[in-house]
Amino acid sequence: MPCATHCAKSTRERCSMARIVVAQEAGACFGVERALAMVRDTAQAATAPVHTLGPLIHNPSVVAQLAADGVSVVDDPSEASVGDILFMRTHGVTPEVEDRARELGLQVLDATCPFVKKVHVAAERLTREGYQVMVVGEAGHPEVEGTVGHAPGALVVGCAADLDGVSVARRVGLVVQTTLAQDTLREVVAALVGRCEELRVMDTICDATSKRQEAAAELAREADAMVVIGGRNSANTTHLSQICSAACERTHHIELPEELEAAWFADAELIGITAGASTPANQIDEVRARIEQLLSQ
């Protein structure tokens, strides 16, 4: 009968043989990297206090790092003082909020993701052209709220079931939250077909979101355990976690390396890692290093 020491050694050898693979598309997208660079560069050179209107991105650890660098979060422009620098977050804001910030004498800088800006433009165009505008996305999400501000009266549709009992106009135009899952958009479109004469769909889901979801699903199908890195308040990271969980039962959504547990990787031969669009590369590296450390213990 093998001794306990031999068993422990065998377990360590199996763990050390595990492969750690990062999804081909993972981590911070262009819009997030752009916003972070804008805010950090401004904070280094600024002589006035720097704020972001709401969290710049949905990543608590990054927001904490920015706070340590002197960039504070305000929930309303009135919380800042005349002359202060105020960044519009990556998710965008309503035109009214931005106008009020300028009226209060703030230096307004726009860190809104360019792809979110495209949603705003599409929503405005559909409104001008007389469509009943529907924003397919999560009610209450900052990006969705900002988009509705560019199309007053727009209906927010989170899923096909939200259309039950809704009066649908003859001409309907859809715009979509950039981080939404494609499956949700397809279900909403299918639910509207036959209920209106004209359905115009502006598929404004960000290409980076789709690529991350596809890469995560592919890796999760092969992995014995998956780690999804990103803020729990991040819609796109939550979607990634859901996608991975459907393919890999041992999926864990974390924000920090300290949350990792060695037991998650017991007997795993392939450990997959993916990360939301608000997760910088250094956080992925830190998680990978921590997994390697746990496997070697």
* 147 Cβ neighbours under 8 A, 6+ residues apart: 92, 116, 119, 120, 123, 135, 137, 154, 175, 177
CB count within 10 Å of CB 126 equals 23
pTM to 2 decimal places: 0.86
Q: What's the token pair of residue 221? A: 């199908």
Residue 119 has pLDDT above 80, yes or no: yes
Percentage, residues of the chain above pLDDT 90? 89
CA dist 85 and 109 (Å) reads: 7
pLDDT in tens, 197-238: 999 999 999 988 889 999 999 999 999 999 999 999 998 899
> 219: Cβ–Cβ under 8 A, 6 or more apart, which residues?
21, 23, 24, 226, 244, 272, 274
Distance CA 78, CA 87 (A): 13
Catalytic residue of the set 25, 98, 138, 143 = 143
CATH number of 116-205: 3.40.1010.20
Render pLDDT for 157-173 as a digit per residue (tens, 0 to 9). 999 999 999 999 999 99
Q: What pLDDT does 16 receive?
A: 55
- Give the Cα-Cα-Cα angle 42, 237, 223 (nearest 5 degrees): 130
How does pLDDT run across 60-104, given as a tens digit for each residue? 999 999 999 999 999 999 999 999 999 999 999 999 999 999 999
- Residue 13: active-site member: no
Q: Which of 117-126, 133-142, 232-241, 254-263 has the lowest mean pLDDT?
A: 232-241
Q: What is the pLDDT of residue 169?
A: 97
Mean pLDDT of 233-251: 94
- Model pLDDT, residue 7: 42
Are the C-beta atoms of 146 and 98 separated by less than 8 Å?
A: no
The model's confidence at residue 182, banded by pLDDT at 50, 70 and 90, is confident
Q: What's the pLDDT at 11?
A: 45
pLDDT for 26-46, tens place per residue?
Answer: 999 999 999 999 999 999 999
**What CATH number is given for 15-28+208-296 in this structure?**
3.40.1010.20
Q: Do domains 15-28+208-296 and 116-205 have the same CATH topology?
A: yes
Residue where the block lists tokens 């889901």: 205
Q: Round to whole Å and give the CA distance between 29 and 13.
A: 37
Given CATH 1.10.150.120, say whether it is the number of domain 30-114: no
Q: What percent of the chain has pLDDT over 70?
A: 95
Domain boundaries, the chain: 15-28+208-296, 30-114, 116-205
